[in-house]
Amino acid sequence: MDLQLAGRHALITGGSKGIGRASAMVLAAEGCDVTLVARDAAVLDDAAAAIRARHQVAVRTISADLTNDATIRRVADEAGELDILVNNAGAIPPGDIVAVGDETWRRAWDLKVFGFISFCRTVYPRMAARKAGVIVNVVGAAGEQFPPNYIAGASGNAALMALTRALGRQAPRDGLRVVGINPGPVTTERLVMLQKARAKEQFGDEGRWQELLAPMPFGRAATPEEIGNAVAFLASPASGYTSGSILTINGGA
């Protein structure tokens, strides 16, 4: 299926690995030029090289710490005109209301919650001036499940869901669309690391980590590519009547 994305320009935050890298690869496969943003320049270069090796599109990287507004504005200026913004950067640590300290909570929200907000505030008016553009917020299923042992993530994701729905209601009159995705567990490096630690504690063998995924739907977590496919579809004209909606991808859990 041709998603009619050839020649468009997408910026993906957290684009060096996991869901961000997979989303960039899928968008590139559809003919999008991509700009990847993350902190680690070396990992960014590796992701960019992998995309260039497979697809004939322009690939740029910007190494940046997206925890403050000034940096986000600089990144947006450097990236130039965007057709698609994929907000994806940020991983909020687990813990209950007592376990997550003030500094940890604020630092995690500065990157993910306020990072998403700041990118929307920066990029949305520029897209609205052209009456064209799509913002895809990759949020997280904890925002609708409210696990108490992931309270900083649950509350942060719920805020981003509200942002997506509210901005998505405004977007059509500005010629734009704003949508969200709530992934459940995804087989990223972070998930594998956590499952290996659990397997070592539970079985005495980190190599048995996949056994811990057996109770999940389909006996596994989602792949980053499955989330990336959804990002590309929602960003495309094939999903042109979708705004203010949030797609949950958790296997039906």
Q: Could you give the CA distance from residue 93 to residue 9 in angstroms, rounded to a whole number?
A: 31
Question: For 93, left (φ over 0), alpha (ψ -120 to 50), or beta?
Answer: beta
Backbone angles phi, psi at 11, to 5 degrees: -110, 130
Pick the catalytic residue from 105, 114, 119, 150. 150
Question: Quick count: other Cβ atoms within 10 Å of Cβ 99?
Answer: 12
Q: Could you give the CA distance from residue 53 to residue 75 in angstroms, rounded to a whole number?
A: 25
* Pair 85, 11: CB distance under 8 Å: yes
Known catalytic membership, residue 241: no
What residues are labeled active site? 150
